[in-house]
Amino acid sequence: MSALLTRLAEARKEGNVARLAEAIPYARWMQIAPENGTGELLTRMRYHPELIGNTFLPAIHGGTLGAMLEMAAIFHLLWETETETVPKIVNITVDYLRSARPVDVIACAKVTKQGRRMVNVFAEAWQEDRSRPVATANAHFLVKSDADAPPSL
């Protein structure tokens, strides 16, 4: 069993989803972590100056929004579905709706279609106002273990 799935079991026992991020070096570096204080699973990317992509506006780098939407989808699949493997991302399409200001970004995800091997996930990111999303994404993940399966986690 992978370290992430071990961590998942521990996080479930403690009821503390934030522990999932501890097992992923990239999530720690980016300060991306899930939280469920409100009863809903959300993923937060804490603002820090290294997220900036446009110093003039200033605005958060689009690539980091794509990255956090992907992480939000993964945390959602790990926490809210009965997955027994770490989901492997196949592809993601990110739509950029507004420039993201230098404050925290929050995202939620939901499963659009759960198949036996493949899951389609929708994720949405916003800042202060949830009705004004900064970016949305659709992603496919393989959720059945398969030696030939694609990337990334």
Partner 1 sequence: MSPVTSKDARIALFQQWFSDNIPHNKALGLKVIGASRGFASMQLDWREEFVGNPETGVLAGGPLTAMLDGCCGMSVATMLKAPEPFATLDLRIDYVRPAEPGKPVIAEAECYRITRSVAFTRAFAHHGDAKDPIAAAAGTFMLGTKGRPTRLPPGDKP
- List contacts with partner 1 (CB under 8 A): 2-4, 23-30, 49-57, 59, 61-64, 66-68, 70-71, 86, 89-96, 99, 150-153
Q: Which is nearer to partner 1, 38 or 74 (CB)?
A: 74
Q: Which is nearer to partner 1, 39 or 49 (CB)?
A: 49
Closest to 5 in 3D by CA, of 68, 77, 62: 77
Q: Name residue 27's amino acid.
A: A
Q: Which is nearer to partner 1, 37 or 56 (CB)?
A: 56
For residues 41 and 127, what is the distance between their CA atoms, to the nearest angstrom?
16
Q: How far is the CB of 38 from partner 1 (least distance, A)?
A: 25
Q: How far is the CB of 39 from partner 1 (least distance, A)?
A: 27
Distances in Å between the Cα of 21 and the Cα atoms of 18, 35, 56, 87, 95 are 6, 10, 31, 15, 25
Q: How far is the CB of 132 from partner 1 (least distance, A)?
A: 16
Q: How far is the CB of 112 from partner 1 (least distance, A)?
A: 16
Report helix, strand or coil for 53. Answer: strand
For residues 27 and 21, what is the distance between their CA atoms, to the nearest angstrom?
6
Residues in the chain: 153
Q: Which is nearer to partner 1, 96 or 103 (CB)?
A: 96
